[in-house]
Structure 1
C-alpha cells in the first residue's frame, strides 16, 4: 500500500479551449493532475485519439513542470493486470543501478497513479508467483491488496528482463535474469537476494527466461563484439571483447562463428547447456506471466538470424525449429539493441498473439511439435512494442516511442499505451514478410531443410539460385495440416549457376514448406510472402481530410515541430512555404495538459527543429536517394513535389519510434532500418509504408501521438485536428500506425528515361519492395538485349538475372509481372550502347 502523506496536494484542472466551434469531444476533454513536492503522484484524463490517452504518457521523470533531467530513453517495458489494475514500468537505456523512471498503476476509470518510491532502472521482467500470490514486475513485489515492496538495486544490480519459477525451492524463491546475463535468486517473502552466476553464457543483452519441463530456459539477443566493429560476416569473435569468457559455465567448443550471435540456453538448477547460438528474445508457455507449478507445457522462444525469424519449441524435453518471415529489418543488427522484448501473449477471447520483426501473428496456445497448425499473419506495424496484453476487453500495447538517443528533435524521451481491438491491429500494415531457408548456403544431399511458414499469406513466392557449376534438383514438400505429414509439391531443376522461381497457386492450402536437395550443392532459397489486399487511399480520406493535398491551391498552415526539453509541451514554429523555402511566421507552444496553442516558445533548444536535411532529388526518370556511398532510385508518387515542396522544404527523415526512422520523400512515407543510432540508415532495407500525396511539412511523435503539419487553413477542429483561436496554426494528431490508411504505396518511374546506357553496365538500383501491381515498359533506339536483374534478399549483394528481353530499334515492349511476384530492388543492363527507357508502373 502507498505510504500516507500529510503534505498538501495541489490539483491542476485544465479545461480544453480552442476555437469557438468546439466539438463535443473537445468539450469533454480535461486533465486533472495531483502533485506533491513538485512531483506528479496521479493524473486523470479522458481525451482519446486513435486509441491513445495522452494523459497516460510516461516520461523519464515525474516532475510537474516537465523539466527534464537525465535518461535518453523511456520505453514501457512490462505490463501486467493485477488487482483489477493495469501495472506498467518504464525504463532507461542503460541504468542497472536505477533512474527516475517509474512504476505506474492505471485503474478502470483511467486514473493513473505513480508509485512515489519508484527506483527506475531498465526493467522489463514480470511474473505472478502463485504460491505467495504476488506480482513481481521489475524490482517491485506487489501483494494481493496492492502493497508494493521494493528490491533495491544495491541488493540486485542489473537491467532486469525476466523472472522465472525456481527449480529447487519454487514455493519460496524465484529467479531474476538481467541483460548482462546475471542470474539471481530472490526469496519471495523477505526479498533477500543471492547472486548465483555473473555472466555465465556467451552473448549479451539478456531477454527472456521461463521455467518449464524441469529447466529454466534463458535467452540473449546480441554480441558485444558487434558494436559497430563486426557484422554477420566477420569471424573475429575471439578477441578482447571476450576477455570475460572464463566466467562462462559451458563448453566453449564451437561457440564462435559468423552466425553465432546471442544464445538460447537451459539451466537445470546447477549447470548450463547451450541450445543454439542465435539471437533470441521471449521465452514463454501458454501460461505466460501466470507461471504455474510443475509446468510441462510446450515452451516457445522467438529469435532470428539473417535469414528469418526463428521459433524454437521445447516439447517433452526435445527442441524443434520453425522459420517465419520478417515484415521489417529494424530488429536485425547483431548487437540486439533494437529488439525490445517482443512477446507471445494472451490477448483475450481465447486468442494468443505473437509479435516479432514488425509482424503480428495469430499464435495458437495448442502449438506443439505434433500440432503446428494455426500460426497466421495478422499484419505489420510501425509501433515499437515491448509488451502487450488484454485488459477491460481491449488489447493494450506498450510502446518505446520518443527517445533522444538518435533524435535531436526531441527534448526528452516519452512513451504511451495504445488501446484497441484485434480487428484494428489486423487493419494496420500489410501481411507481407520476407525470409530465406538457405542463403548461398552449402546443403547436404537428401537432407530436409527447416520448415518455413507459408500459411495465411495471399501471395507466396520462392526465389532459387544455384551457386555451383553443377545442376541440382530440389524437391518442395508441404505440411498441409501441421501434423508433420509431408506431401511432395514439385521438383524444381536448377541448372548450373542459374536462377529460377516458383509462385504458389493462391488456392493451395498448407501450413509449412520444406526443401530437400537431391545432391550436395550451394543454394539460395529466398521467400517472399505478400498481401494482395493492400489499402486503398479511400480508407483514410476522411481521417486525413484536413491535410492539404499536394495540388491544393489554398492557404496551408505549415509548421516545424520540436518536443520540448524544459516542459512537456510541443514547440511549433508556424510558417509558410514560398518559392521552395520554409518561412517562419511565429512561435507557439502546444500544451501537454489542455491541448491548446499559446504564444512563444520557452525551450531554447527547440531551434533545432528548423533544420532539415536534403537527401533526395528528382530527374525525369525517378526520385534519387543520395546515400553516403551509393545512390538508389525510388518511384515517383502522385503530384509534382519538386515544384511544390522540393527536397529540403519539408522534414525528410526523423526518428518517430525509438531506434526507428521514418522518411517522407516526395509524397510517400518509408520506414528506414538502422544498424546503429547516429549512423546513416540502412536505405537498402527500406520499405514503403504509404503514398500520401499531401503537403506534410513535418512529422513528430509527442505525448504518445503522431503529429503532422501541413493543414488546410480552413480546416475545422475535430478529434484529430486542433486549431489555434485565430486559425493561424493547426496540427493533426493520431497514432503512428494511422499512416497506413493513406493508402498503399504507388508510383512510377525507373532507372532509365531516354538515358544513354553503356553496354553491360548495371543501372542504379530501383525499389520494388512493397508495391502492388507491377508493369515494365522498355524501349531503346537500337536493337539490344536488356536483362532485368532482381535483388531478392537484403543479405545477398549480387542480383539474380530474372529475364532477358530482345528489343528491336525503336520498339516499345510491355511486360506485366506475374501476380504475386515480389523482389526488393531491380537493376537492368543492355548488351549494347544505346539510349533506353525502362519504366515501371506500380498501381
Structure 2
C-alpha cells in the first residue's frame, strides 16, 4: 500500500479512495460498466439500474497521474459496452465515440434509447457502421462518422429480457441474453435467456440458456480474421457453459461455478462476466466468481489451457490492462434494498496478474447432468478439471437396473478421448469416484450404459496459496480470545460520500465521526448517531446450541460450524453484525468467527464459507471501493490498513483481502447429546468449502445403532445421496 504524498495518492490494497465513482444520490447502484485504455487515458463509464434515457452517470477519464475527470459530454444511462473501431480510430464506449486524439462525441440518446450492453462490427459495411445491442433486445446501426442512428426492424427476434453481449464473427452477428420473465413453462424449465445469431437474412436460436459475453481472439477490436473462433459464456442450473463457434459449427463445454450468488432467472446478478485480453497477451475469463487464465488459442482443435486462478467476492463488470497493471472494475456499494448504505458507489482495483492468486481458492462446483434424461452411450458435454487439485464426481440414476457410467478424459485438449474408469451404480442408486492426481487431463465427460434419468456432478477444490505474513495486515483487530477492550462501533456509507462512524468503546459514551476520501476523521457539529443506528441496526442473524450455529431461512433450519467460544456471547460493545450487503446484491455474513458469502436470490441454502477470522470484528461495509471494519485495538497505530489515532480508528482494505484471514475451519454438527427419533433426518450441516472434514458419531442406546449419512452434492436440498452407513 502507498501512503499519500504530493506525487502519490493514497492506495490501500490496490484501491485509490479518491478514484471512487458516484452517480445520483437516489440511483440504486453505481456499477462501472466498462473500462478501456485509449488515447493515453483510462476511460470508464458508470451506470444506474434502469435509465435508458440518461441519468447523472458519467463518462470518466483517468490520466497517468491518476487524476480523475468527469467529462462534460456525459449523458449517463445504463451502458456497459465498448469496442474499438479500427477504421475510424475511435473507441465506442457506451453512447460515446472517442477519437484516438482524445476528442469525445456523444450519440443522441433520444435515438439510441436503451441500456446499451454491446457494440459489434457491422456485417456488410464495417468501415462505416457499427451495431449497438441493448438490454431490451433492440439492435441499432450507428454511423461512425455522423453518429446517426437507425433502429433495425427486428421486433422480437429472440427470447429473453436481459440483453448482454454481442459480437460479429464468421459472417454472423451473435447476441447473448441472460434473463427470462415469468414462471417456467412445464417441460421447458431450462429455457432462460438465449444465444442467437443473425446471418444478415434470418435469425437462428443457438441455445435457450442464460448467456452473457460473446467475444473472440480480437476482443474489443473485433474478429482479426473472418474465420476466427467466437467464444460465449453462460450458465444453467448445472454449471457454467462455454460455447465455441469454429468453422461454422458450435461446440459446448462446461466449467464449475465458484458460487451461486450469480444465479437468477431474470439474470440480474451477473454484471458483467467477460473474456478479455489484459496484460502481456494474457486473456482473463471471469464467470460465476472464478477467474480463469483463458488461452487465446482456444479452438475446436485445441481446447487445452483453460486454468482456474482464484475465486473472488468482488462483483466485476469489466477489467483490462493499463500502464503495466491489471485493473478490475466493480459494482460495489448499492442502495437497492439496502438502507445500510446512503449512496451507491464503486471503485477500481489496480494490481498485477499474479496478485489474483492471493484472492480465494480455486474451488468450483457443477455438473454435466442434474436429473436429466440421458441416452445410452451418448457422451455428455466435456467438463473442465484442469488446474484443480482435488476432483470428485458424484453419479446417480433412477433406472430399475444397475447402470455403468464410463468416465472419459481428454488429456491434451485435442479431442482424443480415452476411458478413465467405469463405475457401476446399483439400481436407483448412487456412487462417487475421486479422480486421482495421476489423471492429468483438460476435460472429462460421462456416458451412461443405459437410458435413464441421471446425475453427474463434480466438486473441484484446491488449497489457496498462503503467505505466512499475509494475516498480519489485520493486526490492528484483536483476536477473539484477547482480553483487551476493542474500539468498536457502527459504520455506514453516508449520502454525502462520507463514511459515518458511531464509536462504541466499552464503558465510554458514544462518539460520532465522519471520514473523507483522505481517510481523515472529523467530528462534525451535527451528531447523526441516531440516523446511523436507525438505518444500520446490528442484528445477530444466527442462533447457537450445544451442537452448532443455527440459521433459519423460509422456515428451514441450517447448521454451520462454530468458531471460537468467545462468539457464544456478545462483545463488550454488543453483538457483532451478522449479515450485510458489501457487493451489489450479494452479502458477507459474519457468523461465529467466519465470513460467508450469501446470494440475494440463492440465500442461506447456498451459503459458502470465505474465511475463518476468529477476530473481534464488530461491523463492516464497503465504502469508496474499500472494505472497512470496526473493532480495533486501543492504541493501534497507523500501518497502511489501520487509520486513526488509537482512540478512534478503523481497518481498511479491499473485499478480497478477507481470504487472507485464514481458511474456513470450525467444529460442530447436526446433533450433540440430542434426542433423536428413528429415521427422522437431522438439520442440514454445512460442509462445502472446507478442505478437510471428519465425522464422529456416538449415542447412548443400550444396543447398536445404524446411522445413514447423506450428502446434498448439488446444494438445492432436494437431492440427498447416501454417502455412508455407520453401525455404532
TM-score by length of structure 2 reads: 0.97
How far residue 609 of structure 1 moved from its aligned partner, in angstroms, is 4.6
Q: Distance in 2 between matches of 1:763 and 1:112?
A: 56
Give the C-alpha shift of residue 600 in structure 1: 4.9
Question: 1:498 and 2:400 equivalent?
Answer: no
Q: How far 1:595 sits from its partner (Å)?
A: 2.7
Match of 2:577 in 1: 651
Structure 1 match to 2:413? 482
Gap change, CA 1:45 and 1:113, over 3 Å in 2: farther
Match of 1:235 in 2: 185
Shift of 1:535: 4.5
CA RMSD of aligned residues (A): 1.8
SS of 1:748's equivalent? coil
The equivalent residue for 1:590 is 515
Q: Measured at CA, do residues 212 and 268 of structure 1 come closer, stay the same or move farther in structure 2, by a change above 3 Å?
A: same
Match of 1:19 in 2: none
Q: Tell me the CA shift for residue 304 of structure 1.
A: 0.3
- Find out whether 1:710 has 2:631 as its counterpart: yes
In 2, the alpha carbon distance for the partners of 1:543 and 1:594 equals: 17
Kept in 1, the 8 Å contact 2:366–2:458? The answer is: yes
Check conservation: 1:221, 1:281, Cα contact below 8 A.
yes
Deviation at 1:384, TM superposition (A): 0.2
Find the aligned partners of 1:440 and 1:372 in 2 and give their Cα distance: 27
Matches within 5 A, 1:337-356: 337-356=268-287
Count of matched residue pairs: 724
Hey, what does 2:685 align to over in structure 1?
A: 766
Q: 1:756-780 CA distances to partner (integer Å, 9 max, x unpaired)?
A: 1110010011000111221111111
- Look up the match of 1:409: 340
- Tell me which residue corresponds to 1:11: none
Q: Identify if the C-alpha distance between structure 1 residues 599 and 155 changes in structure 2 by more than 3 Å, giving closer, same or farther.
A: same
Cα distance, 1:25 vs. partner? 5.4
Q: Provide the residue aligned with 1:251 in structure 2.
A: none
1:215 aligns with 2:172: yes
Deviation at 1:532, TM superposition (A): 3.2
Match for 1:425 among 349, 352, 356?
356
Aligned position for 2:700: 781
- The one-character-per-residue Cα deviations of 1:783-832 (angstroms, maximum 9, x if unpaired) are 2001111000024603111100111xxxxxxxxxxxxxxxxxxxxxxxxx
Which sections of structure 1, spanning at least 5 residues, go unmatched?
1-23, 31-43, 62-67, 237-255, 676-680, 808-843
- Distance in 2 (CA, whole Å) between partners of 1:377 and 1:358 is 11
Q: Post-superposition shift, 1:550?
A: 1.0
TM-score between the two structures when normalised by the length of structure 1: 0.84
What corresponds to 1:694 in structure 2?
615
Matched, 1:175 2:94: no
Correspondence list, 1:659-670, <5 A: 659-670=585-596
Q: Aligned match of 1:755 in 665, 674, 680? A: 674
Determine helix, strand or coil for the equivalent of 1:217.
strand
Is structure 2 residue 117 aligned with structure 1 residue 188? no
Q: Distance in 2 between matches of 1:171 and 1:413?
A: 39
In the TM superposition, 1:515-530 aligns within 5 A as 515-530=446-461
Q: Kindly state the Cα deviation for residue 318 of structure 1 after the two structures are TM-superposed.
A: 0.5
Of 90, 94, 106, 1:138 maps to: 94
Describe the shift of the 1:279–1:610 C-alpha distance in structure 2 as closer, same or farther (beyond 3 A).
closer
Which residue of structure 1 lines up, in the alignment, with residue 20 of structure 2?
57
- Which residue number corresponds to residue 215 of structure 2? 284
In structure 2, the residue matched to 1:242 is none
My pick for the range that moved more, 549-558 or 289-298, is 289-298
**Mapped partners of 1:789, 1:373: distance in 2:** 36
Partner of 1:825 in structure 2? none
Structure 2 gap segments, 5+ residues each: none
Task: Indicate conservation of the 8 Å contact 1:674/1:682, yes or no.
Answer: yes
Q: 2:531, 2:144 → 1: CA distance?
A: 46
- Please list the CA deviations of residues 694-717 of structure 1 after superposition, one character each: whole Å capped at 9, or x if unmatched: 111100000110000000012101
- Aligned counterpart for 1:546 among listed residues 476, 481, 487: 476
Bigger Cα displacement from structure 2, 197-206 vs 210-219: 197-206
Contact 1:45 1:53 in 2 (8 A): no
**Which residue does the alignment assign to 2:486?**
556
Q: 2:382 aligns with which of 451, 459, 462?
A: 451
Taking a change above 3 Å as real, the CA distance of residues 600 and 466 of structure 1, as seen in their structure-2 partners, is: farther
Give the Å deviation of 1:640: 2.2
The answer to whether the 8 A contact 1:214-1:294 is kept is no
In the TM superposition, residue 341 of structure 1 has moved relative to its aligned partner by 1.5
Name the CA distance, whole Å, in 2 between partners of 1:652 and 1:715: 25
The whole-number CA distance in structure 2 between the counterparts of 1:192 and 1:648 is 61
Match of 2:719, SS state, is: coil
Deviations 1:623-645 (A, max 9, x none): 11122311111101134211343
Once residues 391 and 2 of structure 2 are traced to their aligned partners in structure 1, the CA distance between those partners, rounded to angstroms, is 45
Question: What residue is the counterpart of 1:743 in the other structure?
Answer: 662
**How far off its partner does 1:602 sit?**
6.2
| Superposition pairs of residues 459-474 of structure 1, within 5 angstroms | 459-474=390-405
How far off is 1:649 after superposition?
Answer: 1.4
The alpha-carbon deviation at position 358 of structure 1 amounts to 0.1
| Aligned-partner Cα distance in 2 for 1:440–1:165 | 40
Deviation at 1:29, TM superposition (A): 4.2
What SS does structure 1 have at the residue aligned with 2:399? coil
Task: Give the drift of 1:368.
Answer: 0.4
Shift of 1:309: 0.2
Distance 1:796 1:268 in 2: 43
Change in 2 beyond 3 A, CA 1:577/1:321: farther
| Per-residue Cα deviation, 1:736-756 (whole angstroms, up to 9, x for no partner) | 000000010000111111111
Q: How does 1:60-99 map to 2 (within 5 A)?
A: 60-61=23-24, 68=25, 70-99=26-55
Q: How many Å separate the matches in 1 of 2:128 and 2:174?
A: 20
Decide which of 103, 107, 111 is 1:155's aligned counterpart.
111
Q: Would the aligned equivalents of 1:589 and 1:600 in 2 still touch at CA under 8 Å?
A: no
* Alpha-carbon distance, 1:524 to partner: 1.0
Please say if residues 605 and 717 of structure 2, whose CA atoms lie closer than 8 Å, have aligned partners that are also in contact: no
Cα deviation, residue 303, structure 1 = 0.3
The 1:264–1:296 alpha-carbon spacing in structure 2 relative to 1, beyond 3 Å, is same
Alignment equivalent of 1:618, drawn from 544, 549, 555: 544
Match of 2:9 in 1: 46
CA distance in 1, matches of 2:620, 2:519: 21
**More strand per residue: 1 or 2?**
1
Structure-1 residue corresponding to 2:241: 310
Using the TM superposition, give the Cα deviation of residue 598 of structure 1 relative to its aligned residue in structure 2, in angstroms.
2.9
Q: Would the aligned equivalents of 1:460 and 1:527 in 2 still touch at CA under 8 Å?
A: yes
Superimposed CA distance per residue, residues 316-351 of structure 1 (whole angstroms, 9 cap, x where no aligned partner): 110000000001101111110000121101121221
SS at structure 2 position matched to 1:224: coil
Does the CA contact (< 8 Å) of 1:211 and 1:295 recur in 2?
no
Counterpart position of 1:732: 651
Q: Distance in 2 between matches of 1:792 and 1:555?
A: 43
| Offset at residue 217 of structure 1 (A) | 0.5
Q: Distance in 1 between matches of 2:525 and 2:585?
A: 31
Kept in 2: contact 1:562–1:572 (CA 8 A): yes
SS where residue 767 of structure 1 aligns? coil
Shift of 1:594: 5.3
Structure 2 match to 1:571: 500
More deviation, 597-606/488-497: 597-606
Q: CA deviation at 1:294?
A: 5.0
SS at match of 2:483: coil
3-state SS, counterpart of residue 219 of structure 2: coil
Query: Is the CA contact (8 Å cut-off) linking 2:540 and 2:576 kept in structure 1?
Result: no
Superposed displacement of residue 540, structure 1: 3.3
Deviations 1:382-427 (A, max 9, x none): 0000000111111100000001002211101000000001111112
Partner of 2:561: 635
- Map Cα deviations across residues 651-670 of structure 1 (whole Å, 9 max, x no partner): 11110000111100111000
How much has 1:482 moved relative to structure 2?
A: 0.3
